[in-house]
Chain A
Amino acid sequence: DAGITQSPRHKVTETGTPVTLRCHQTENHRYMYWYRQDPGHGLRLIHYSYGVKDTDKGEVSDGYSVSRSKTEDFLLTLESATSSQTSVYFCAISQTGERTEAFFGQGTRLTVV
């Protein structure tokens, strides 16, 4: 299995609080992604990174920010959590972003109450 670790695996937080999810990889892959998974929507891309300090928005980026200060770490921050951000969040990595598949972490289940 690809070396991807997401933390925490489960979190319950209150509306309005900031939350940071961490993705750590040991594969030295260039690309890293954050997706959210919701019933009926499949996986939707939030943000992605194509190198240290190089990030771009996905289709559902509002309310989220990311940072990548090291190749191995990609952080997703919910600036002020809302109930609509209750979801399962997946981190993925890819060598090239094009011709290689993405490898996924185990997911983080986030509940905003």
Chain B
Amino acid sequence: AQSVTQPDIHITVSEGASLELRCNYSYGATPYLFWYVQSPGQGLQLLLKYFSGDTLVQGIKGFEAEFKRSQSSFNLRKPSVHWSDAAEYFCAVGGQGAQKLVFGQGTRLTINP
């Protein structure tokens, strides 16, 4: 069975600062990994995804994530955050043989001006 842990429930950073959101996953076969963002009152939008190949993947809005198999991690990063990045971020895992995505609990990001 798949599972995802996002250790940080809430993170606050200053505008212009760098950001890293943590994600740890568990899956017995090859994982497929995703990061989604949810603005208040909205549905979820895909930021980026990893299936195979280069372990550093680029996404929309200047985000990137790095897959580390040895650490079972898929952390999301951004070099310089903007006030518009304030939202909730979800990591999700699917995989070979899986028919569904399992989501983490989410990390709420607050940006200080």
Contacts and interface: CB of A to CB of B under 8 A. Distances in A.
Contacts of A58: 100
Contacts, number: 62
Contact of B99 (A41, A97, A106): A97
Contacts of B42: 106-107
Q: How large is the interface on A (under 10, 10 to 19, 20 to 34, 35 or more residues)?
A: 20 to 34
Interface in B70-113: 90, 92, 94-106
A31 B46 contact: no
Interface of B: 6, 9, 32, 34, 36, 42-46, 49, 51, 90, 92, 94-106
Binding site secondary structure of chain A: strand
A42 B43 contact: no
21 contacts: A31-B99, A33-B101, A40-B9, A42-B6, A42-B103, A42-B105, A42-B106, A45-B100, A45-B102, A50-B99, A58-B100, A90-B44, A92-B44, A97-B94, A98-B95, A98-B98, A102-B34, A102-B92, A104-B43, A104-B44, A106-B42
